[in-house]
Amino acid sequence: MANLGFVGLGIMGRPMMKNLLKAGHTVVACGRTPSKLDACVADGARRGASNSDVGAHADIIFTMLPDGPEVEEVVLGGNGVLSGAKSGSLIVDMSSINPLVSQRIGAACTAKGVDFLDAPVSGGEPKAVDGTLAIMVGGSEEAFRRAEPLLKCMGSSVTLTGPVGAGNTTKLANQIMVACNIAAMGEALTLATRCGLDPEIVFNAIKNGLAGSAVLNAKGPMLIARNFKPGFKINLHQKDLRNALQTAESTHVCLPLTALVQQMLSSLIADGKGDFDHSAIATFVEAPSHTEVKRPSA
């Protein structure tokens, strides 16, 4: 059993940490919200005094944070994980951030003799809870093999995609496809509803055809039920698309659909929906269409 650290105990981080505990590993945890840390201690984790303390008392440290600036602060800050980490330890950042930031953090870790992987995830809270996340990893083969058994406690699909930064590049590709898929689903079901059809019947009719997808199966029922309890917030998806567009700009890649959906997300956030589940991307076309996607009896 491994001696692990975990920093970042939010919607995703806590269930991921719990799955490591369930597998029999010891975990020292730290987070900026005392109530969340208290809950993780109640789950069986040991309370870390600081990010540096987590680094000092764990051989492999996982981080799960909102964006690049938070990861840089937690790992590279004055009292960060790296300041306490021993040579030969491994830091696995599971946040979804700009690949260039991952590479910068990885270089700082290497300079101190610490291995680094970027390992963002897909699947949202439900898959974090049941340990079936898709995990996209960037880093060396040696570091990946060391972390792989632990990552499989949290995910059903764990793939080494290339060197440091490749995991987050892969995640950006994932987030582009998910966001555009939800937006297209919103247009399709809004059209069907406006034409007098029951969107649930339309959903059931198409879900097993070529238009079917994991996104449709997960987000279609949420839209129809008007259930936008966040498993993955619109605010966070906007951040991911922003990172995708910044990466595209630096590599001279044209992403017109991503740019359009990013504008849709900005509008939804301005409308107070930033904390809604990203299934609410599909609601963007409802207001100008004077239509709400729901069952006729609802």
Contact between 132 and 156 under an 8 Å Cβ cutoff? The reply is yes
N-to-C CA span, the chain: 51
Round to whole Å and give the CA distance between 131 and 154: 4
Q: Which of 181, 188, 166, 189 is nearest to 257 (CA)?
A: 181
Please name the residues in contact with 90: beta carbons below 8 A apart, sequence gap of 6 or more: 59, 60, 61, 114, 115, 116, 117, 143, 146, 147
Q: Which residue numbers are catalytic?
A: 171
Round to whole Å and give the CA distance between 278 and 265: 9
Round to whole Å and give the CA distance between 170 and 102: 13
Round to whole Å and give the CA distance between 212 and 247: 29
Q: DSSP E strands: which ranges in the chain?
A: 3-7, 26-30, 46-47, 60-63, 90-93, 115-118, 121-122, 133-138, 155-162
